[in-house]
Structure 1
Amino acid sequence: MVDYRIREYRDEDYEAVREMFATGMSEYVPALCVHVLKQPWVILVLSCTFCLLLTSSKSLLLPVLAVTLLLATGQQLLGCAWATYIKRCLQGDLLDIRATYMSRAGSRFWVAEAEECVVGTVAARPSDDQEGELMLKRLSVRKDYRGLGIAKALCQVVLSFAQQQGCSSVVLNTLMVQDEARLIYERLGFEKYRAEVLPTVYGRLANVTVSKYRYGIPRRR
């Protein structure tokens, strides 16, 4: 069992936090590729390409090579699109963590530290949708420190913070490939109240679904 502690973000954590976020999000590329491959229109395109080339060339090698090339190109494009998303996050709220989370009322950023290294992160800020609602963001745990309860402990810090702030609920968003994260949230008592496809061309083509979860904060007596 590894000893760890959760504390508020400090400026010297900046590079470690950004690197861990980028590395953690990059892990979802294979799952994203599998998700896209299951889409009916992708299966149709690959099947039609294979059958047309097989019929016209009378050879098995050409259609196999063509489909392999399409798969490799698709994986490369998905990887680039995901890298763009990661870059956008790093240039957004994670560009100036102190200004975004530590210098604004009702916002906070925490890290989990073990063996003098940052091994987990979580953040909270007021929701844009409803007053009195707190949004949980940037939950991430380094791969070699998962399964130790760190993610659960980080979430509980946010829930405690929300209660201290007098918030009515905590909300969060997850993507369809974040299965482990959804299990953690559901075990903590978060309930899914909405699921929607990203309103972009890429989101609709790849059927990128965002699930929204809410946790109701018990009122203090």
Structure 2
Amino acid sequence: MASYRIRQYQDKDFDAVRTLFARGMLEHMPAGYRHVLRSARVQLELLVLFVLQALSTDLADVHGTYLRSPHSCFWVAEVGGAVVGMVAVEPPEDPAEREVALELKRMSVSKEHRGWGISGALCGEVLRFTRARGFGAVVLSTSMVQVAAQRLYESQGFRKVGATSPGLLASLLCFQIFRYRCDLPGRAAAPPH
């Protein structure tokens, strides 16, 4: 197994991060196709819309979104100087969770580098970061078709705490987003306000 290094995001990683995220999301198309209606056009439009939305929001300004707050961060994993994985953490959107948890986001590892332990190491980075800032839990969302991601999160101590359909069309297509939570033992002091 080749070695890898995890480090904090730098502006030079911008193109690699966007490409890695888009490729990772596009890999889920076959599983999504099998689950969602049988209309390839509808499925493709939904996936492309999701990827474009992500690339034009937080991933359009990684530094501004994830590196300006003490409770946010973005890491990349490198092999031979190339970015092959990424993960982010930030305060959750749910106001009830903001005082007690941070949210893991944008986890992705290139297909060629899966099975190297990179996903687990990135997840561990988020858990350490969260604990060090005094939060008692990490939350995340993943789709029902991302079975490998669900297994990874469960192996890291996350448990499924809910499921939702992200809209009317998703409800009609029986597509769900699963919510996971990992309670951290031995958390530090309460997070600063």
Q: TM-score, normalised by structure 1?
A: 0.81
Unmatched tracts of structure 1, length 5 or more: 38-70
Runs of 5+ in structure 2 lacking a partner? 189-193
Q: How many residues align?
A: 185
Of 77, 84, 102, the residue aligned with 1:112 is 77
Which of 59, 76, 82 does residue 41 from structure 2 map onto?
76
Corresponding residue number in structure 2 for 1:62? none
How is 1:1-221 mapped onto 2 (pairs within 5 angstroms)?
1-37=1-37, 74-129=39-94, 130=97, 131-198=99-166, 200-220=167-187
Q: Which has the larger radius of gyration?
A: 1
Higher helix proportion: 1
- The alignment partner of 2:58 has SS state of coil
How far the C-alpha of 1:201 sits from its partner, in A, is: 2.5
Structure 1 residue matching 2:16: 3-state secondary structure: helix
Which AA in structure 2 matches 1:9? Y
Taking the aligned partners of 1:36 and 1:97, their CA distance within structure 2 comes to 31
**Deviation above 6 Å: which 4+ runs of structure 1?**
none
Q: Percent identity?
A: 42
Alpha-carbon contact 2:36-2:43 (below 8 Å) kept: no
TM-score normalised by structure 2 residue count: 0.93
Contact 1:126 1:132 in 2 (8 A): no
